[in-house]
C-alpha cells in the first residue's frame, strides 16, 4: 500500500476501533440498583399543651372626664370687691374657700331691715295677745259659763294674723341672711379653675356664668367596650359592691405612668354609632404627686386594663395557632392531626382553649400552605416547649 493510501486508511481504522471499544464497554456495564426514597415531611414548630388557670384582663381605651364640673353663677348682683389668688385658670382651691366676694353692704342693710320687721311683728303679736286676754276676761264677766258666739269677740283672728305676720318677717330675715352669705362665692369641694371672667371692681348680675371649675378629688374614664367583653367582669351599677380593679395608663413625654381605679358603673345606653357600651372607671386623687407622675387631667386619652374573672383549666395558645373553623393542628407520631376545639376567649395575642386538647398534646404553631389530616411532618428539635401562659392581655 502506498504511503498516500496509508495516510487515509489508518485514521479510519483507528476511528472504527474506538467506536467498537466504546460499544463493548457500554454493553458490559450493569445499571445501579433502584432505591425508593420517602420524601421528608415539612418541618414544624410545636408547643406542649398545658392547662392552667388564666386571670382575664379586658383592655380598652378611654377619655378622662371630670366627675364634678360646675359653672360659677352668682345668685346676687353687685360689685366684686375681693378676688382670691386661686381665681385664675389652673388655680387650685380648697372646699368652701371664697373665690370672690360681692360687695355685702347692701345685703347687710337688708338683714338689718328684716330684723327690724321681725321686732315690729313680735310687738304686734304681744299687743294682740294682751288685747285678746282682756277681751276674754270681759266676756267671762258679762257671760259667765258661756263660750263666745264668735272668735272675733275674743280677737282670735287678730292673734292669728299677728302670728302669720311674725312668721313672714322671720322668713324675710332668713332670705336676707342667705343673700348676705351668697355674696361670698365658693363650692363645697376641692377643685381647680378651668376658666374665669372675674375682675376686681366688676359689676356682676345673677344668672351669668363667671367661671368653670371641676373637682380634683375624683375623675372618671369612659371606656367603650364590645358587649361581649362585659361578661368577664362584674359591674356594680349602684348595688353597693366594689367594682373590679383597673389600671389606667398614659404616656407623657415618652414615659408611661399608671393610676389605680375601679369600675363604678355602666352608662344606661349604647353608643348610637358604634353600638358599644360605655363602662365608667373612677380614679381617686388624680392630681396627687407620686414619683414624678403628672396629674391625670380631663380630656386626656388613656389605656385601660380591667382585671376581671379567671378562666379555669384552659390551654393558652398563640393567636395564630387557631386555624380556620376553630381547630388546631396537633403533632402525633410523625403525623399532623386536625382537632376541633372549643375557644373560651380570644384576645389580640392569645386564644384560650377550654375543650378539645389534653395535657401534653403537641400543638403545631407553624404556618403551612396545604394541610391534610394525617400528613407527615417533622418536629423541629427543641420546640417541645410549654405553651405561652399569662393573663388575657
Whether the pLDDT of residue 242 is over 70: the answer is: yes
346, 352 Cβ separation under 8 angstroms: yes
Measured between alpha carbons, how far is 26 from 18 in angstroms, rounded to an integer? 12
pLDDT at 60: 93
Measured between alpha carbons, how far is 259 from 293 in angstroms, rounded to an integer? 9
Measured between alpha carbons, how far is 65 from 282 in angstroms, rounded to an integer? 10
According to DSSP, the β-strands at 277-284 and 255-266 are antiparallel
Average pLDDT of the residues in 351-366: 90
pLDDT at 106: 94
Measured between alpha carbons, how far is 56 from 53 in angstroms, rounded to an integer? 10
Whether the pLDDT of residue 390 is over 80: the answer is: no
Helix (H) / strand (E) element for 82: namely: strand 78-83
Grid coordinates belonging to 155: 280677737
pLDDT band at 26 (very low <50, low <70, confident <90, very high): low
Grid coordinates belonging to 110: 337688708
C-alpha distance across the termini of the chain, in Å: 103
Q: What is the pLDDT of residues 107-149, one digit of tens each?
A: 999 999 999 999 999 999 998 888 888 877 777 777 787 777 7
Q: Which of 328, 316, 315, 325 is nearest to 364 (CA)?
A: 328
Whether the pLDDT of residue 246 is over 90: the answer is: yes
pLDDT at 72: 95
Report angle CA 112, 113, 119 to the nearest 5 degrees.
90
Between 118 and 27, where is the model more confident? 118
Helix axes 105-142, 156-181, angle to 10 degrees: 170
Measured between alpha carbons, how far is 287 from 147 in angstroms, rounded to an integer? 75
Report angle CA 221, 225, 226 to the nearest 5 degrees.
170
Task: Give the number of other Cβ atoms within 10 Å of residue 106's Cβ.
Answer: 15
Q: Is 219 exposed, middle or buried (0-12, 13-18, 19+ CB in 10 A)?
A: buried
105, 113 Cβ separation under 8 angstroms: no
Q: What is the pLDDT of residues 144-190, one digit of tens each?
A: 877 777 777 677 888 889 999 999 999 999 999 999 999 999 999 99
Q: What is the pLDDT of residues 372-389, one digit of tens each?
A: 888 898 888 654 554 444
Average pLDDT, the chain: 86
Assigned fold of 44-58+311-386? 2.40.420
Share of the chain above pLDDT 70, in %: 85
Give the DSSP letter string of 308-331. Answer: EEEEEEEEEEEGGGSBTTTEEEEE
3-state secondary structure of 391: coil
Q: What is the pLDDT of residues 179-231, one digit of tens each?
A: 999 999 999 999 999 999 999 999 999 989 999 999 999 999 999 999 889 98
Q: Which pairs with CB-CB distance under 8 Å and at least 24 residues apart come from 358-361?
A: 358/49, 359/49, 359/50, 359/51, 360/48, 360/49, 360/50, 361/48, 361/49, 361/330
Highest mean pLDDT among 92-101, 132-141, 322-331, 366-375: 92-101
47, 262 Cβ separation under 8 angstroms: no
pLDDT at 188: 94
Whether the pLDDT of residue 36 is over 60: the answer is: no
Assigned fold of 59-67+215-308? Elongation Factor Tu (Ef-tu); domain 3 (2.40.30)
Measured between alpha carbons, how far is 380 from 378 in angstroms, rounded to an integer? 6
DSSP state for residue 290 in the 8-state scheme = B
Between 291 and 123, where is the model more confident? 123
Q: Is 375 exposed, middle or buried (0-12, 13-18, 19+ CB in 10 A)?
A: middle
pLDDT at 144: 80
Average pLDDT of the residues in 73-98: 94
Hey, which residues does 2 pair with through a beta bridge? none
3-state secondary structure of 378: strand
Amino acid at each position: 500500500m502506498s504511503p498516500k493510501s496509508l495516510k487515509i486508511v489508518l485514521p479510519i481504522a483507528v476511528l472504527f476501533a474506538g467506536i467498537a471499544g466504546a460499544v463493548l464497554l457500554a454493553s458490559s456495564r450493569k445499571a445501579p440498583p433502584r432505591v425508593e426514597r420517602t420524601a421528608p415531611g415539612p418541618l414544624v414548630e410545636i408547643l406542649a399543651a398545658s392547662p392552667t388557670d388564666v386571670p382575664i384582663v379586658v383592655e380598652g381605651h378611654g377619655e378622662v372626664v371630670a366627675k364634678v364640673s360646675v359653672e360659677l353663677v352668682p345668685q346676687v348682683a353687685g360689685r366684686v370687691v375681693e378676688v382670691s389668688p386661686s381665681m385664675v385658670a389652673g388655680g387650685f382651691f380648697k372646699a368652701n374657700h371664697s373665690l370672690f366676694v360681692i360687695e355685702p353692704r347692701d345685703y347687710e342693710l337688708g338683714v338689718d331691715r328684716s330684723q327690724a320687721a321681725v321686732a315690729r311683728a313680735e310687738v304686734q303679736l304681744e299687743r294682740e295677745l294682751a288685747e285678746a286676754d282682756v277681751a276674754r276676761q270681759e266676756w267671762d264677766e258679762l257671760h259667765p259659763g258661756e263660750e263666745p258666739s264668735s272668735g272675733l269677740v275674743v280677737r282670735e283672728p287678730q292673734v292669728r294674723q299677728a302670728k302669720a305676720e311674725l312668721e313672714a318677717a322671720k322668713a324675710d330675715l332668713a332670705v336676707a341672711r342667705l343673700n348676705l352669705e351668697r355674696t361670698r362665692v365658693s363650692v363645697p369641694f376641692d377643685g381647680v379653675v378651668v376658666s374665669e371672667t372675674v375682675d376686681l371692681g366688676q359689676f356682676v348680675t345673677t344668672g351669668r356664668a363667671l367661671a368653670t371649675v371641676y373637682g380634683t378629688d375624683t375623675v372618671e374614664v369612659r371606656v367603650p367596650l364590645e358587649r361581649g367583653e362585659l361578661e368577664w367582669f362584674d359591674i356594680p351599677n349602684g348595688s353597693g359592691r366594689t367594682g373590679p380593679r383597673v389600671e389606667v395608663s398614659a404616656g407623657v413625654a415618652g414615659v408611661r405612668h399608671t393610676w389605680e381605679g375601679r369600675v363604678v358603673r355602666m352608662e344606661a345606653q349604647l353608643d348610637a354609632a358604634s353600638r358599644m357600651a360605655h363602662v365608667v372607671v373612677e380614679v381617686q386623687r388624680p392630681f396627687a404627686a407620686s414619683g414624678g407622675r403628672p396629674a391625670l387631667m380631663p380630656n386626656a386619652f388613656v389605656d385601660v386594663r380591667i382585671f376581671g374573672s379567671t378562666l379555669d383549666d384552659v390551654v393558652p395558645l398563640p393567636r395564630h395557632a387557631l386555624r380556620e373553623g376553630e381547630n388546631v393542628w396537633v403533632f402525633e407520631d410523625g403525623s399532623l392531626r386536625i382537632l376541633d376545639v372549643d375557644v373560651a376567649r380570644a384576645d389580640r395575642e392569645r386564644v384560650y382553649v377550654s375543650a378539645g386538647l389534653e395535657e401534653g398534646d403537641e400543638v403545631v404553631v407553624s404556618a403551612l400552605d396545604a394541610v391534610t389530616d394525617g400528613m407527615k411532618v417533622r418536629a423541629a428539635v427543641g420546640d417541645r416547649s410549654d405553651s405561652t401562659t399569662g393573663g388575657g392581655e
